[in-house]
Amino acid sequence: MRKLLCLAVLTFSATFAQNKLTVNDVFHLETATDPQVSPDGRRVVYVRQFADIMADQRRSNLWVVNSDGSDHRPLTTGNYSDAAARWSPDGTQLLFLSDRDGTQQIWRRWMDSGQMQKITSVPEAPAGISWSPDGKMVAFTMLVPEAPRQIIQMPKAPEGAKWAEPAKVIDKLVYRFNGSGYLKTGYHHVFVIPVEGGTPRQITSGNFQHGGVFGASEAVWAPDGKSLLISANRRADADLEPRDSDIFEFPIDGSTVRKLTSRKGPDGAPAVAPDGKMVAYTGYDERYQGYQVTQLYVMNRDGSGSRLVDSGWDRDVANVKWSPDGSGLYFTSDDQGNTGLYFVTLDGKRRMLEKNVGSTTSAYGGGSGFTVAKNGVLAFTYTTPMMPGDIAVARVSDTAPKIVTAVNEDLFAQRKLGAVEEVWYESSKDKRKVQGWIIKPPDFDPAKKYPLILEIHGGPFANYGDRFDLEKQIWAAKGYVVLYTNPRGSTSYGGEFGNLIHHAYPGDDFFDLNSGVDAVIAKGYVDPEQVYVTGGSGGGVLTCWMIGRSNRFRAAVTVYPVINWYSFVLTADIGNWTSKSWFPGLPWDHAEHYEKRSLLSVVKNVKTPTMVLCGEEDWRTPMSESEQYYQALKLLNVESVLVRVPGEPHGISRRPSHHVSKIAHIVGWFDQHRKPGSMPSGE
């Protein structure tokens, strides 16, 4: 018995001693997203996302917590994908989406009894659900399929014969999309259905995508319940001008549709004022630039009197919601790598209410959701470099946030994270200030010399910031210092900074990134002979750009990069607008321009051992791009490997095990190229 007890203690001690993050923690980490505060402000329902290790799937359930943090409990359980909870106007019921019956449908839950009802049994997945103001109807979007174009009539197969799958005829410019694969033919439309269930009634018509390419945007009810507003691109050439959307109002009685906006550019995210007299929305005038700041507008209900609300805010605006009294608007916005929650009056007086809004496993951001109750209670997601994402509550009158969940407390009680330090440095190109962050290994000792990983964000019009990053923390736990920065072209610094790479990407961002490496080496705790570089998507582009212009890196991993801009425009799912916004025109009209920015233009300079990593179902930066670069390296006799991940789109995180593989392959390649004798003991 004593031996068994000793063995148990030793086993427990050994387990507890494993106090650093590992790739296995991909399966353990949870996030809290989409907080929905009840109309009376007393409770918050949110989506709790987790990984099912046995099925290798990502799942989610609904949880509820009181606004004071008490009575925290699940509303749904099981290995399902429950999402998009929405309170009824009287706060007694919830609508939500779930696949618990085999396919995604709309469900209804009574909060007093827990009874649930499946409202829909539709053939395609509904999305964008919303209650009517009187609580009697539900609006949603759904694909209405069309028969694909048919050119021939195949002969009938003999009885008992097993013929191959027939040919597919494609006649659309956008026929496949990252994450969705080859698209079904058809268009997304808005429907309404009684909350008790029944037969859905289609409100919109025509061969147009209502609510975006996938109908994910929510149709917004007018306060009188007589019409629905939604953003749509109803141009005949919508595939050629995909960003030219407008706000439309659709009466639910089928009467005349009203187009409320008419400029060229994306007008989206409509929000109707509580009194129904005004509509807020976001957008910009299309100038075919790589980056354009999305701004906040209001107009009269009939579309007249459109005006910019806050001309002094040179940052992107998202998640717009009216205050209950109609005096102003709440929104989220990124400023210098931090997502904040703001309030602006109709005359443009803006103030920040909260910072650190979001719920994410990447410093790249995401999950910045919030809702506002009628009494001014705010519920929002909250993240820091040491916290992936929890739910916080505050009042508009007193915005000191109270964090009411701790979904990773059990994990982080047993893990020591690397400290995160914000840094600013000057670019050697033009002395511009560049913002970045450093993660140091747990138990960091400034007297030691550590290897450095430079990790570059994608987009390229995006930003890293004050957010948790699982991948980088795992690399830090392996003994690396990790640097990630926002070079020119990054968002959250204004339109001028973002457009420094307009028609010039990749380009001078090299100097911003290289200067960041110099700045960290100057701190004295990095071994300059052990510097590595990696990045995904646009970060993969810049990884290839860095090793094509410098031999300072000991090894590199380029993750789902674009290599040949010519072939990218002709194979990617976004070539219809990148050819107009990122380039002066189509490749055959500007071949020299495309070639100058191609990564093949500098590949002959590469001496760095390089891994190329891509998902086989990536249609954003297709596998063919990675294959071109790998083959070029092999033809140049550069040490290189190609890693293909089956079934994965852009990002390589659809399956948790594939996310583990991605993280491990990157750091594993660097481990294999460490200086002899430099690996920590036990690694």
| Domain positions in the chain | 412-563+598-672
pLDDT of residue 1: 34
pLDDT of residue 18: 54
Whether the CA torsion 445, 447, 448, 449 is positive or negative: it is positive
Instruction: List the 127-131 sheet strands across, edge first.
Output: 127-131, 137-145, 186-194, 201-202
Q: In 10 A of CB 55, how many CB atoms?
A: 11
Strands (E) across 273-368 are located at 278-283, 295-300, 307-308, 318-322, 328-335, 338-345, 350-354
Q: Is the pLDDT of residue 216 over 90?
A: no
* Predicted model pTM: 0.94
Collapse the DSSP code of 299 into the 3-class scheme (helix H, G, I; strand E, B; otherwise coil) and give the result.
strand
152: Cα within 13 Å, side-chain hemisphere: 7
CA distance 456 to 484: 6
pLDDT of residue 213: 77
The per-type count for the chain, helices as H runs and strands as E runs, is 11, 39
In terms of Cα–Cα distance, which of 35, 30, 21, 15 is closest to 381? 35
CA distance 247 to 263: 10
In terms of Cα–Cα distance, which of 268, 283, 151 is closest to 220? 268
Cβ atoms 527, 450 nearer than 8 A: yes
- Segment 328-352 shows an average pLDDT of 96
pLDDT of residue 4: 36
Q: Is the pLDDT of residue 43 over 60?
A: yes
DSSP character at residue 340? E
In terms of Cα–Cα distance, which of 308, 304, 306, 305 is closest to 294? 308
pLDDT of residue 3: 37
Q: Which amino acid is at 508?
A: D
pLDDT tens across 269-304, in order? Answer: 999 999 999 999 999 999 999 999 999 999 999 999
Cβ atoms 197, 119 nearer than 8 A: yes
Residues, the chain: 683
Q: Which residue has the tokens 């102003």?
A: 328
pLDDT tens across 467-522, in order? Answer: 999 999 999 999 999 999 999 999 999 999 999 999 999 999 999 999 999 999 99
pLDDT of residue 8: 35
Q: Which fold has domain 412-563+598-672?
A: Rossmann fold (3.40.50)
In terms of Cα–Cα distance, which of 550, 547, 568 is closest to 627? 568
In terms of Cα–Cα distance, which of 520, 525, 497 is closest to 424? 520
Q: Which residue has the tokens 């031996």?
A: 3
CA distance 220 to 267: 14
CA 658 to chain centre: 18
pLDDT tens across 564-608, in order? Answer: 999 999 999 999 999 999 999 999 999 999 999 999 999 999 999
In sequence order, what DSSP letters do the residues of 537-594 get, joined into one string? THHHHHHHHHHHH----SEEEEES----HHHHHHHSTTHHHHHHHTSSS-GGGSHHHH
Spatial neighbors of 671 by CB under 8 A, at least 6 apart, are: 478, 679, 683
Cβ atoms 94, 87 nearer than 8 A: yes
pLDDT of residue 205: 95
CA distance 30 to 359: 10
pLDDT tens across 94-137, in order? Answer: 999 999 999 999 999 999 999 999 999 999 999 999 999 999 99
3-state class percentages of the chain: helix first, strand second, coil last, to nearest 5: 20, 35, 50
How far apart are the two ends of the chain, measured CA to CA in Å?
34
Helix (H) or strand (E) holding 506: none
In terms of Cα–Cα distance, which of 255, 543, 257, 494 is closest to 246? 257
Ramachandran angles phi, psi of 69, nearest 5°: 95, -5
DSSP character at residue 603? G
CA 608 to chain centre: 31
Q: Is the pLDDT of residue 17 over 70?
A: no
Burial grade of 494 (CB within 10 A; 0-12, 13-18, 19 or more): middle
In sequence order, what DSSP letters do the residues of 241-256 get, joined into one string? STT--EEEEEETTS--
Structure tokens that stand for 459 in this block: 């987009």
